[in-house]
Structure 1
Amino acid sequence: MITSAYIHIPFCQQICHYCDFTKFFYNEDLANQYLEALDKEIETAVGKKQTYMRTIFVGGGTPTALNYHQLEKLLQTIASAFDVNNCEEYTFEANPGEFDEQKLTLLKRYGVNRISFGVQVFDDQMLKKIGRLHRVQDVYDNLRLFEKHQFDNVSIDLIYGLPDQTLEHFQHTLDEAIQLDLPHYSTYCLQIEPKTVFYQRYQKGKLHKPVEELEADMYDMLVHKMEGNGNVQYEISNFARPGFESKHNLTYWNNEYYYGFGAGSHGYVPGYRTVNIRPLPRYIEQAKETGMPILHKEEVTLQAQIEEQMFLGLRKKEGVSKSQFFNRFGRPIETLYEQPLTYLQEKGWMEEEGDYVRVTSNGRLFANSVFQEFLLESIEE
Structure 2
Amino acid sequence: MPPKAIYVHIPFCANKCHYCDFNSYVVNGQPVEDYLDALALEMEMAAARTKPEQIRTIYIGGGTPTILTPAQMKKLLRDLKFHFPDRAEDLEFTVEANPGTTGPELLSVMREEGVNRISFGAQTFRQDLLKKIGRIHGAGEIRKSVGQARKAGFDNISLDLMFGLPTQTVGDVEQSLREAVSLEPEHFSCYSLKVEEGTRFYVLQQQNKLVLPDEDEELEMYQWTRSYLNKKGYIQYEVSNFARPGFESRHNITYWLNEEYYGLGAGAHGYVDRVRYANVKGVEEYIYEIKTGSLPVEEFYVVSTSEDMENYMILGLRLLKGVKRSRFVQRYGIDAGEVFATTLKNLQQSNLLTVDDNWIRLTDQGLLFGNHVFASFLGSVEL
Q: TM-score, normalised by structure 2?
A: 0.95
**Residue 57 of structure 2 corresponds to residue 89 of structure 1:** no
Conserved? CA contact 1:232–1:239, under 8 Å: yes
Q: CA deviation at 1:69?
A: 2.0
Matches within 5 A, 1:1-12: 1-12=2-13
Partner residue, 1:77: 79
CA distance in structure 2 between the partners assigned to 1:50 and 1:358 by the alignment? 31
**Residue 177 of structure 2 corresponds to residue 171 of structure 1:** no
Select 2:165's aligned residue among 162, 166, 174.
162
Q: CA deviation at 1:118?
A: 0.6
Secondary structure of 1:56's aligned partner: strand
Worse-superposed segment, 224-233 or 4-13: 224-233
Structure 2 unaligned regions, length at least 5: none
Quick one: which amino acid aligns to residue 7 of structure 2?
Answer: Y
Quick one: which amino acid aligns to residue 256 of structure 2?
Answer: W
CA distances 1:198-228 after superposition (whole Å, capped 9, x unpaired): 0111111100221111111111111111111
CA distance in structure 2 between the partners assigned to 1:372 and 1:176 by the alignment? 36
**Residue 134 of structure 2 corresponds to residue 98 of structure 1:** no
Matches within 5 A, 1:173-212: 173-212=176-215
Q: CA deviation at 1:229?
A: 1.1
Quick one: which amino acid aligns to residue 249 of structure 1?
Answer: N
Worse-superposed segment, 174-183 or 280-289: 174-183
**Residue 337 of structure 2 corresponds to residue 334 of structure 1:** yes
Partner residue, 1:52: 54
Partner residue, 2:371: 368
Percent same amino acid at aligned positions? 41
CA distance in structure 1 between the partners assigned to 2:202 and 2:122 by the alignment? 22
CA distance in structure 2 between the partners assigned to 1:306 and 1:229 by the alignment? 36
Q: CA deviation at 1:179?
A: 2.2
Quick one: which amino acid aligns to residue 183 of structure 2?
Answer: L
Secondary structure of 1:256's aligned partner: coil
CA distance in structure 2 between the partners assigned to 1:258 and 1:85 by the alignment? 15
CA distance in structure 2 between the partners assigned to 1:190 and 1:150 by the alignment? 32
Matches within 5 A, 1:105-254: 105-254=108-257
Quick one: which amino acid aligns to residue 60 of structure 1?
Answer: G
Q: CA deviation at 1:86?
A: 3.5
Quick one: which amino acid aligns to residue 67 of structure 2?
Answer: A
Conserved? CA contact 1:17–1:196, under 8 Å: yes
Conserved? CA contact 1:51–1:82, under 8 Å: no
Quick one: which amino acid aligns to residue 345 of structure 2?
Answer: T
Partner residue, 1:345: 348
CA distance in structure 2 between the partners assigned to 1:284 and 1:59 by the alignment? 18
Select 2:320's aligned residue among 287, 311, 317.
317
Partner residue, 1:35: 36
Q: CA deviation at 1:176?
A: 1.2
Q: CA deviation at 1:147?
A: 1.4
CA distances 1:248-305 after superposition (whole Å, capped 9, x unpaired): 0000000000000000000001221010001111111001212410001101001110
Q: CA deviation at 1:363?
A: 1.1
Structure 1 unaligned regions, length at least 5: none
CA distance in structure 2 between the partners assigned to 1:377 and 1:139 by the alignment? 45
Q: Alignment RMSD, CA only?
A: 1.7
Conserved? CA contact 2:124–2:161, under 8 Å: yes
Q: CA deviation at 1:340?
A: 2.0
Quick one: which amino acid aligns to residue 27 of structure 1?
Answer: N
Conserved? CA contact 1:51–1:81, under 8 Å: no
Worse-superposed segment, 11-20 or 367-376: 367-376
Distance 1:343-1:108 versus aligned 2 partners, 3 A rule: same
CA distances 1:164-189 after superposition (whole Å, capped 9, x unpaired): 21111111111111222221001110
Conserved? CA contact 1:50–1:79, under 8 Å: no
Secondary structure of 1:331's aligned partner: coil
Secondary structure of 2:41's aligned partner: helix
CA distance in structure 2 between the partners assigned to 1:186 and 1:10 by the alignment? 21
CA distance in structure 1 between the partners assigned to 2:336 and 2:281 by the alignment? 37
CA distances 1:29-63 after superposition (whole Å, capped 9, x unpaired): 5111111111111111115x997311000000000
Secondary structure of 2:299's aligned partner: strand
Partner residue, 1:20: 21
**Residue 70 of structure 2 corresponds to residue 68 of structure 1:** yes
Q: CA deviation at 1:326?
A: 1.7
Conserved? CA contact 1:91–1:115, under 8 Å: yes
Secondary structure of 1:111's aligned partner: coil
Conserved? CA contact 2:274–2:302, under 8 Å: yes
CA distance in structure 1 between the partners assigned to 2:382 and 2:23 by the alignment? 35
CA distance in structure 2 between the partners assigned to 1:221 and 1:186 by the alignment? 14
Q: CA deviation at 1:354?
A: 4.3
Partner residue, 1:275: 278
